[in-house]
Amino acid sequence: MQYQNLILEITDRIALVRFNRPEALNALNSATLREFDALLDELALSGAADALVITGEGRAFVAGADIAEMRGLDAAAGRAFGALGSRVFRKLELLELPVIAAVNGFALGGGCELAMACDIRLASDKAKFGQPEVTLGITPGFSGTQRLPRIVGASKAKELIFTGEMIKADEALRVGLVSRVTAAEELLPAALELAKKIAKNARRAVAYSKAAVDRGLETDIDTGIALEADLFGLCFATGDQKEGMTAFLEKRAPAFTGK
């Protein structure tokens, strides 16, 4: 499928998605959100990739939601716009594929919320993060009030949301918003290398591990432990478990098939 505001490339089963509205700093309008929604469906249905990397064209990752589109909305339309963004980002979060955000520049508002819906966030030393919505007279609308405190803790999240201030990549690393900071020219190669390292492992095991972590964080530890036990058991119904353990005993590299 051809996209107007996104670029999708799949190489060696690694999908790379670039948000491509550099003239608007890749701001998220309704059209872009709907395209991204369709792209996620395409990836899920095709089975063509084992990992996904997301980045932005130009000097922004995603600078936020499109203010020009939002300015004239009434309460009902504003709620619908927020619900669209939140639904698409939740679909991204629930995607079985491991998702890496390669944050190359501004990740503000909806861009920060997009990054937070990814499994792993790497940042360029030029990246800046923030939830500046209160400076525009609104709250974060694409689930930022829910994901940010889960990632950095309630106190730091409230500081960032209530002030609307931006933080640089080094501060994002310090508070746990990103897991690594690289030089700008090293960011995408590092993200792709990480994706390849993950993708060489058993696909179902990675997917089950993602589900165990994400769903476990949303419940109490005893329920999470029981969930892990169920998913651990399911691994033994896969061909990759048999191949992985046989390869280990035979002292060779496994040849996983994703089944």
Domain coordinates in residue numbering, the chain: 6-199, 203-249
Q: What is the mean pLDDT of residues 7-25?
A: 97
Q: What is the mean pLDDT of residues 67-72?
A: 95
User: pLDDT tier at 226 (50, 70, 90 boundaries)?
Assistant: very high
Catalytic residues: 113, 133
Q: What is the pLDDT of residue 144?
A: 98
Q: What is the pLDDT of residue 110?
A: 98
- The string over 117-135, giving b where at least 16 C-beta atoms fall within 10 Å of a residue's C-beta and e elsewhere, is bbbbbbbbebbbbbbbbee
Q: What is the pTM of this model?
A: 0.96
Q: Give kind and range of the element (H or E) at residue 81.
A: helix 75-94
- The string over 213-236, giving b where at least 16 C-beta atoms fall within 10 Å of a residue's C-beta and e elsewhere, is eeebeeeeeeebeebbeebeeeee
pLDDT at 1 over 90: no
Q: What is the pLDDT of residue 51?
A: 98
Q: Residues near 62 by Cβ (< 8 Å), separated by ≥ 6?
A: 19, 25, 26, 27, 28, 56, 106, 107, 108, 110, 111, 114
Q: What is the pLDDT of residue 169?
A: 98
Note the CATH number of domain 203-249: 1.10.12.10
Q: What is the mean pLDDT of residues 85-99?
A: 98
pLDDT at 115 over 90: yes
Q: What is the mean pLDDT of residues 143-162?
A: 98
Q: Give kind and range of the element (H or E) at residue 62.
A: strand 60-62
Residue 111 CA: distances (Å) to CA of 10, 62, 133: 23, 4, 12
Q: Residues near 182 by Cβ (< 8 Å), separated by ≥ 6?
A: 122, 123, 124, 125, 190
User: pLDDT tier at 230 (50, 70, 90 boundaries)?
Assistant: very high
How many other β-carbons are positioned within 10 Å of the β-carbon of residue 112?
Answer: 33
Look over the chain and give the mean of its residue pLDDT values, rounded to a whole number. Answer: 97
Does 6-199 carry CATH code 3.40.50.300?
no
Q: Residues near 21 by Cβ (< 8 Å), separated by ≥ 6?
A: 5, 27, 32, 57
Cβ-count burial of 12 within 10 angstroms (0-12 exposed, 13-18 middle, 19+ buried)? exposed
Q: What is the pLDDT of residue 130?
A: 98
Torsion angle, alpha carbons of 88, 161, 16, 105, to 10? 150
